[in-house]
Amino acid sequence: MNTSNPPSESGGCTDNEPGYRQVCWRCRRPIALCLCPEKPPMETATRIVLLMHPMEWKREKCNTGRLTTLNLANSEILPGLAFDDNPRYRELTRDPTKYCMLLYPGPAAYDLSAGAFPVAKLENRQLVVFLIDSTWACAKSILRASPALLDLPCVKFTPKVASRYVIKRQPKAEYLSTIEAVHELLLALEGAGVDTYPDKERLLASFYAMRDYQIECLESKPNPRWIGKPPPTQS
Ligand SMILES: [Zn+2]
């Protein structure tokens, strides 16, 4: 299913059936907690495509991938596990006007942080970067089910900061949430002279709003597993 950004009419919140919790159809959060951006989505030259694992697709309130695409005009989500035969994936990777890469730290990945990017290979084509939106364990199952993904040229970067995500603890400090990874990717692409990143605060501001609400919830209703242990700290 292609979930390209929906029309950017303000808010995007709709009333659901009476008796049900009202949910915003764009960010999939309760209307009172809607995180849809007030400003129109940001324009970038690069198209960002999130390959979203089904488990991530179900995580509605704390899904940073969805927040990412709400803020970027040139982005979309492809939910699934096996992408080699996904019609939209095939359309993008076979489009002669596009140069597709996978954000993945393989040994042959171009390291944007070291200034390595095959600018000459773009040949005036649009850069499309696929990101796997899942936990690292689930990313392995996507790669197993989509072996052709690793045939794409890979790109990587070294995050400038550790993950700011304190709720879903990342296995390593350098493992970022999806929205943080896209933010760092856009910074790196701008540094490489491949794109411009017009509003460098916006993705993180959206991310912080979601994270801060989660922290508030934890403080008002602590997870029983954490009782007697120090609270999570901000990195
Ligand atoms: Zn919303």
Is there a single domain that holds both residue 58 and residue 112? Answer: yes
CA of 55 to the centre of ligand 1 (A): 20
**pLDDT number for residue 32:** 82
What integer is the mean pLDDT of 141-158? 94
Burial state string for 152-162 with b = 16 or more CB within 10 A and e = fewer than 16 = bbbbbbebeee
Give a yes or no: residue 168 inside a domain.
yes
**pLDDT number for residue 98:** 98
Give a yes or no: residue 177 inside a domain.
yes
Is there a single domain that holds both residue 17 and residue 82? Answer: no
Bridge partner residues of 155 (DSSP): 103, 110
Spell out the residues 6+ positions from residue 53 whose beta carbon is closer than 8 angstroms to its own: 79, 81, 132, 133, 134, 135, 138, 139, 141, 142
Domain containing residue 192: 40-220
Is there a single domain that holds both residue 130 and residue 178? Answer: yes
Choice between 5 and 106, residue whose per-residue pLDDT is larger: 106
Is there a single domain that holds both residue 97 and residue 156? Answer: yes
Is there a single domain that holds both residue 28 and residue 119? Answer: no
Is the pLDDT at 170 greater than 70? The verdict is no
* pLDDT tens-digit readout, 52-81: 998 888 776 667 899 999 999 999 999 999
Give me the phi and psi of 61, to 5 degrees please: -75, -25
Is there a single domain that holds both residue 214 and residue 125? Answer: yes
The reported pTM is: 0.80
CA of 35 to the centre of ligand 1 (A): 5
What residues are neighbours of ligand 1 (ion), with CB under 5 Å?
24, 26-27, 34, 36
Q: What is the count of structural domains for the chain?
A: 2
pLDDT confidence tier of residue 94, bands split at 50, 70 and 90: very high
CA of 60 to the centre of ligand 1 (A): 11
Token digits of residue 27: 């960010």
Is the pLDDT at 213 greater than 50? The verdict is yes
CA of 32 to the centre of ligand 1 (A): 9
Going across the sheet that includes 110-111, the strands are: 75-79, 47-52, 126-133, 98-103, 154-156, 110-111
**pLDDT number for residue 215:** 73
Give a yes or no: residue 45 inside a domain.
yes
**pLDDT number for residue 151:** 95
**pLDDT number for residue 2:** 35
CA of 216 to the centre of ligand 1 (A): 19
Token digits of residue 214: 């989660």
CA of 133 to the centre of ligand 1 (A): 20
CA of 187 to the centre of ligand 1 (A): 26
Is the pLDDT at 148 greater than 90? The verdict is yes
User: In this structure, are residues 65 and 207 in contact, taking their beta carbons and an 8 Å threshold?
Assistant: no
* pLDDT tens-digit readout, 120-140: 899 999 999 999 998 888 899
Average pLDDT of the chain to the nearest whole number = 81
**pLDDT number for residue 235:** 32
Is the pLDDT at 173 greater than 70? The verdict is no
Is there a single domain that holds both residue 19 and residue 49? Answer: no
Is there a single domain that holds both residue 5 and residue 75? Answer: no
Is there a single domain that holds both residue 14 and residue 95? Answer: no
CA of 124 to the centre of ligand 1 (A): 36
Is there a single domain that holds both residue 109 and residue 183? Answer: yes
**pLDDT number for residue 25:** 84
**Helix ranges (DSSP H) in the chain:** 54-58, 64-71, 87-93, 119-122, 136-145, 178-191, 202-220
pLDDT confidence tier of residue 221, bands split at 50, 70 and 90: low
Choice between 165 and 35, residue whose per-residue pLDDT is larger: 35
Give a yes or no: residue 235 inside a domain.
no
Is there a single domain that holds both residue 129 and residue 191? Answer: yes
Give a yes or no: residue 229 inside a domain.
no
Is the pLDDT at 13 greater than 90? The verdict is no
Give a yes or no: residue 153 inside a domain.
yes
C-alpha distances in angstroms, 217 versus 24, 71, 179, 221? 19, 24, 21, 6
Give a yes or no: residue 227 inside a domain.
no
Bridge partner residues of 98 (DSSP): 126
CA of 213 to the centre of ligand 1 (A): 14
Is there a single domain that holds both residue 44 and residue 23? Answer: no
**pLDDT number for residue 61:** 64
Give a yes or no: residue 75 inside a domain.
yes
**pLDDT number for residue 113:** 86
CA of 220 to the centre of ligand 1 (A): 23
